[in-house]
Structure 1
């Protein structure tokens, strides 16, 4: 069986966060969704669990970082530079913040970062491994 990853994120507004991730192309798995959590599917092996603050606190006593903090940056591949630009634009148009970090264009790799409604940072990037300098 392939390894799977479930990224768990605390969110202030579950319905708004579900709408945001749906706009980015994620789909909802109702089997793992209720009033306290939503499973948003990115691929067969990558899922994002959106958890209300109360649900989050049932897993850990560690504090939820403020939306202005960066506890982690999740990097996600795209098929092209244009796809990177499109997902960044979509995030900005749906309540997220586009380009929370400087755009990186190294020629062989191009990336832009967004923050979701709760400040969780995602970096979308395209890379041509054949063009990586030796």
Structure 2
């Protein structure tokens, strides 16, 4: 199998308490909704042609888990969703829109493990928690970032 055939697009599924409220939040932030894949059980967020996030009603999400419980992202973290920004200047307006729509900003840790890259001007990002408790990082990385 050719590994380059895997990962050309990403479809992330996350549980939501309220599909309509999630739709309103992300619409307010400015993320396009794919209506072809949205209904009362799901809202499809189209971050790019290659990144789609499906927010699924908790009961509908549970139907894919074969009896496992649905995690409460307000109580425990199972993932941090990181999205790249095309420029350093595009990070703040997106995160500010999320905060205005009801998200909560997550300040960098102390110490911040990425601080050296931030100080060198090679990286900039901000983190927030959406109303469902999912943590999102919006991050810009310079094309001059060291490999590895």
Q: How many residues are paired up?
A: 133
> Which residue number in structure 2 is paired with residue 118 of structure 1?
132
Alpha-carbon deviations, 1:101-134, whole Å to 9, x = none?
A: 4175342101111111111111101111225499
Contact 1:108 1:132 in 2 (8 A): no
Larger Rg: 2
The gaps in structure 2 that reach 5 residues or longer are 110-114
Alignment of 1:1-134 (within 5 A): 3-60=8-65, 61-66=67-72, 67-98=74-105, 100-102=106-108, 105-106=118-119, 107-130=121-144, 132=146
Alpha-carbon deviations, 1:72-128, whole Å to 9, x = none?
A: 011111122221111111111101112x14175342101111111111111101111
The gaps in structure 1 that reach 5 residues or longer are none
Q: Relative to total residues, which structure has the larger strand share, 1 or 2?
A: 1
Displacement after TM superposition at 1:25 (Å) = 2.6
- Give 4+ residue runs of structure 1 displaced > 3 Å after superposition: 131-134
Query: What TM-score results when the alignment is normalised by the length of structure 2?
Result: 0.79
Query: What TM-score results when the alignment is normalised by the length of structure 1?
Result: 0.87
